[in-house]
């Protein structure tokens, strides 16, 4: 199933949580001079216009990134805001970067980026966004791509797993994938985003991930009201393995902010 397009949801509150933590982790990982490898299994198109008809129709960005900026959740020196500001300077004030573009602004020339996306239109946009030297974009199943390229060179690095969960079996498949990947690449930071649903579909996956007993695990969840009547997503979660230093502090700060919404 390839019907999902993130333009309808870009900049929503789930993106705020996910992207704030992602940028915090990458900022820490890039403090050291040593290069790193960065992967994404479900990259999307990488850049969205919040003034596009699709984004305006749902209003999720207005209740998301627009609202939290008005509340000044993030200072100008926060890595999330630094990357967002750089994207706006380049692409316009109503541009919003997906995780690949946020990561690219925080990574350095010596770092390697590999991005997978299967949706034909989303991949075409993603591939056109990045010069070849900046990212290796492939129209391939992301899980297969990561398994083929790990352990990577350089070995330091991070993977973001960020599916749309269009297929219910994905909840069952992710824990097994993470267990297998960690055996191959035990030093890699593995970050899994998941929606908090009224159906509880995510609960079994999170329980299975916790049962793996992997090192330096962070489970962070925030809750918010549904984007519209009948919408089943009522929160956002991140499960991180080999959590970088400082991420837990940022997660706790975000929890306080989301609670006050």
Tell me the three state secondary structure of residue 103: helix
Rounded CA-CA distance 209/38 in Å is 21
**What is the predicted pLDDT for the residue at 229?**
80
Q: Which residues contact 5 (CB under 8 A, 6 or more apart)?
A: 54, 119, 121, 122
pLDDT at 34 over 50: yes
Q: What is the mean pLDDT of the chain?
A: 95
Rounded CA-CA distance 116/123 in Å is 8
pLDDT tens digits, 134-157: 999 999 999 999 999 999 999 999
Which of 136, 114, 104 is closest to 39 using CA atoms?
114
**What is the predicted pLDDT for the residue at 186?**
98
Q: Which residue is listed with tokens 């695990």?
A: 217
pLDDT tens digits, 79-106: 999 999 999 999 999 999 999 999 999 9
Rounded CA-CA distance 21/258 in Å is 14
pLDDT at 6 over 90: no
Q: Which two tokens stand for residue 3?
A: 């019907």
pLDDT tens digits, 184-201: 999 999 999 999 999 999
Catalytic residues, by residue number, are 162
pLDDT band at 1 (very low <50, low <70, confident <90, very high): very low
Average pLDDT over residues 12-35: 97
Higher pLDDT, 252 or 55: 252
**What is the predicted pLDDT for the residue at 3?**
59
Rounded CA-CA distance 233/224 in Å is 9
Rounded CA-CA distance 61/252 in Å is 23
Quick one: what percent of the chain has pLDDT higher than 90? Answer: 89
**What is the predicted pLDDT for the residue at 20?**
98
CB contact at 8 A, 169 and 205: no
pLDDT band at 2 (very low <50, low <70, confident <90, very high): low
**What is the predicted pLDDT for the residue at 108?**
97
């Amino acid at each position: 199933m390839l019907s999902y397009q993130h333009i309808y949801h870009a900049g929503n509150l789930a993106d705020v949580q996910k992207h704030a933590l992602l940028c915090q982790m990458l900022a820490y990982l890039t403090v050291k001079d040593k290069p790193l490898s960065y992967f994404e299994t479900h990259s999307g198109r990488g850049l969205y216009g919040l003034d596009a008809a699709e984004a305006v129709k749902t209003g999720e960005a207005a209740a998301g990134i627009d609202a939290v900026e008005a509340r000044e959740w993030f200072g100008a020196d926060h890595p999330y805001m630094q990357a967002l500001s750089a994207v706006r300077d380049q692409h316009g004030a109503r541009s919003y970067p997906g995780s690949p573009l946020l990561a690219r602004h925080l990574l350095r020339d010596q770092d390697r980026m590999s991005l997978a996306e299967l949706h034909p239109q989303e991949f075409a946009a993603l591939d056109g966004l990045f010069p070849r030297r900046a990212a290796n974009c492939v129209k391939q199943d992301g899980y297969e791509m990561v398994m083929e390229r790990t352990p990577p060179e350089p070995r330091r690095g991070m993977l973001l797993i960020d599916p749309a969960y269009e297929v219910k079996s994905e909840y069952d498949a992710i824990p097994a994938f993470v267990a297998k990947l960690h055996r191959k690449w035990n030093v890699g930071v593995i970050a899994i985003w998941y929606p908090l649903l009224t159906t509880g579909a995510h609960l079994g996956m999170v329980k299975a991930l916790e049962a793996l007993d992997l090192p330096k695990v962070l489970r962070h969840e925030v809750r918010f009201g549904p984007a519209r009547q009948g919408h089943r997503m009522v929160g956002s979660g991140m499960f991180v393995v080999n959590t970088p230093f400082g991420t837990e502090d940022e997660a706790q700060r975000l929890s306080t902010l989301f609670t006050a919404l």
